[in-house]
A = this chain, B = another copy of it.
């Protein structure tokens, strides 16, 4: 570690706020502030649930898991291509100049939307997680310098934002600004980056800036008490970051503040449409459905689940479960993406899941995974892990190109290149998704395992090594060897420091209908799809577990209420959702769209083969189908009695959805019309 910075202490304000302690919707009075992170910064996971009273599971540190399988090259690309190239893009688009200008070190005007600070913060968080997996002096030095440039513009008041300065200074934290100005959203991302960087390096520079913002600027002036200005999150994010700050500092005022924000402050009247869109401003526990801006909604659910993990408020759990059923039964794409509408980047009506017009913002799929990871920690239930896996392997994984330098903002499930849309781009002026994808890949090892009082949970399968300990302190190593997600066999080697009785909770994926589990060669009964199989025994160093999941390609149909998917099937194999790309269809290489193809569904004869030379190595599926001659000039509406032209038998070729649009522009579809029998 090259930067053993001195730890600075900021005196907490002890203003009238703390004294009155009247809180709306939070269950505890504001307590005296603590302003210093706990000194044990190492070996912390993404979410530090070590002292969360209502967490059944506790995440393991990113540093405790070494990924060597499917995700290893993707994570390597992330560190060596995505993060560096995004750094250059951020600088080229003036995101750091915004900070330098305020120090007199740049003459460039303010650039980027008013939430542009958050782009830097999310990028820094990516670096922080990357550093948790191993040293990278170059990235560390660059980021430390960036952090110095960031904290240099913090005002004595604690305020820190490069947009609401100069001519915009008078707009700070007005109600309208709180609703649309992203000030607290930016600080939320600063805090997340700061915590991750502190946990990676012990360097509290950015963290102390965040604490100073909260302690010096936010808590004294804003909140529920008389004389304080109300707070509305605007774009939820501050809630979960305040709670992680609480976990980092143990200062309960941060938790209480998060609870207050989650409850909303009735002193401000907010337009009903804004309450829907922002997914904040009224008590979170009054929500009955997912709606509004999908990322806001998912981030609000993350913060609310964090709040439950700390408080155990049963109203939160009830609401969260209702919302989760809305997610999984009405609102989630088969890819794990959410947010159907481009208009407002929003959830649609129940079952409104258009394919070509799907919005499915990468950030929303990431928010979905983040929320489900919290629900998993609260419950230990595999239904949440199924969603994590679905989103991770498909709707998130699609968001970054295989070379790591192009990003999706939208993740549609069908595509027509004649529209001229370009889905993968190096840069977006609202560049929320690229660093979000980067921090997700960088933090991924933290999602593979959890501990509980009973033992160890295995959530995700991929070749990797865990080096951690049980909650009783017994050192434990565990090794996964597998070709997952291409093959369904997983070999685990369990190596506690000494023979120890504990439970190994093995996730049986919901998509796997036929499963076998053996321990040291002995079959173990009870594996149920969509459940954790608890194997409690005295584990000895070197014990082995063999898992075999059912990788038969599955034809899936959507609930018929999803009107756009009527008469269509999708094909999934293991956790991977597949799609057709036009250029793979030998029968119709010039196809400008795929509407001519039909899948035969009366017999399931999908074949799978691994092609190491295609798209960095993927399984390719082949499925029998037909192709009909249709032309662009055909009538838009024709009598159903007209004899359909007979289709020609053909073989449909499919690749993993996540790998689409990595070659030349071509049509794509996940949902394939069925052949009319």
- Chain A residues proximal to chain B, CB less than 8 Å: 328-330, 332, 334, 342-343, 348-352, 354-357, 414, 416, 418-419, 513, 554-564, 566-570, 593, 595-596, 601, 604, 628, 630, 632-641, 669, 671, 673-674, 676-677
Contacts and interface: CB of A to CB of B under 8 A. Distances in A.
Contacts of A593: 351, 561
Contacts of A628: 560
B636 A419 contact: no
A569 B635 contact: no
Given A357-B352, A641-B555, A636 B329 contact: yes
Contacts of A334: 636-637
What secondary structure prevails in chain A residues at the interface with B? Answer: loop
B566 A568 contact: yes
A635 to B, nearest CB: 7
Contacts of A556: 637-640
Nearest to A329: B636
A593 B595 CA distance: 27
Given A604-B641, A641-B604, A630 B555 contact: no
Contact of A630 (B330, B348, B349, B560): B560
A561 B630 contact: yes
B563 A566 contact: no
10 contacts: A334-B637, A352-B356, A554-B641, A556-B639, A557-B639, A559-B638, A563-B673, A567-B676, A570-B637, A601-B640
A563 B637 contact: no
Contacts of A554: 639-641
B569 A416 contact: no
A513 B653 CA distance: 41
Contacts of A630: 559-561
Contacts of A419: 349-350
A669 B564 CA distance: 13
Say how many copies of this protein the assembly contains. Answer: 2
A640 B633 CA distance: 33
Contacts of A567: 566-568, 673-674, 676
A634 B559 contact: yes
A465 B87 CA distance: 75
Contacts of A343: 342-343
Most chain B Cβ neighbours within 10 Å, of A342, A414, A566: A566
Contact of A414 (B357, B563, B569, B570): B563
B560 A632 contact: no
A376 to B, nearest CB: 19
Contacts of A330: 632, 636
Please give me the 10 A-B residue pairs with the lowest Cβ-Cβ distance, nearest first: A567-B567, A555-B640, A561-B595, A343-B343, A349-B419, A560-B595, A564-B564, A566-B673, A557-B640, A556-B637
A60 to B, nearest CB: 31
Given A357-B354, A561-B630, A636 B332 contact: yes
A350 B418 contact: yes
Nearest to A568: B566
Contacts of A676: 567, 676-677
Given A355-B563, A560-B673, A567-B674, 13 more contacts: A329-B632, A334-B637, A342-B343, A349-B418, A349-B419, A351-B593, A354-B564, A560-B630, A564-B564, A566-B568, A567-B676, A601-B640, A676-B676
Nearest to A557: B640
A334 B342 CA distance: 25
Given A567-B568, A673-B567, A558 B352 contact: no
Most chain B Cβ neighbours within 10 Å, of A328, A350, A671, A677: A350
A635 B328 CA distance: 8
A418 B343 CA distance: 20
Nearest to A330: B636
A394 B29 CA distance: 62
A639 B604 CA distance: 11
Contact of A637 (B348, B356, B558, B632): B558
Contacts of A357: 348, 352, 354
Most chain B Cβ neighbours within 10 Å, of A334, A559, A570, A677: A559
Contact of A557 (B332, B349, B414, B638): B638
B416 A349 contact: yes
A419 B555 CA distance: 30
A637 B556 CA distance: 6
Contacts of A558: 636-637
Nearest to A637: B556
A328 B635 CA distance: 8
Contact of A596 (B355, B555, B560, B569): B560
Given A632-B329, A636-B332, A356 B563 contact: yes
Contacts of A677: 676-677
A677 B332 CA distance: 29
A595 B356 contact: no
Contacts of A563: 355-356, 414, 564, 595, 669, 671, 673
Nearest to A671: B563
A566 to B, nearest CB: 5
A429 to B, nearest CB: 13
Contacts of A635: 329, 559
Contacts of A513: 639
Contacts of A568: 566-567
B636 A555 contact: no
Contacts of A356: 349, 352, 563
A640 B560 contact: no
Contacts of A569: 640
A364 B416 CA distance: 25
Contacts of A566: 566-568, 673
B559 A636 contact: yes
Contact of A555 (B332, B564, B595, B639): B639
A604 B639 CA distance: 11
A530 B475 CA distance: 82
Contacts of A601: 640
Contacts of A332: 636
A453 to B, nearest CB: 32
Contacts of A671: 563
Contacts of A637: 334, 556-559, 570
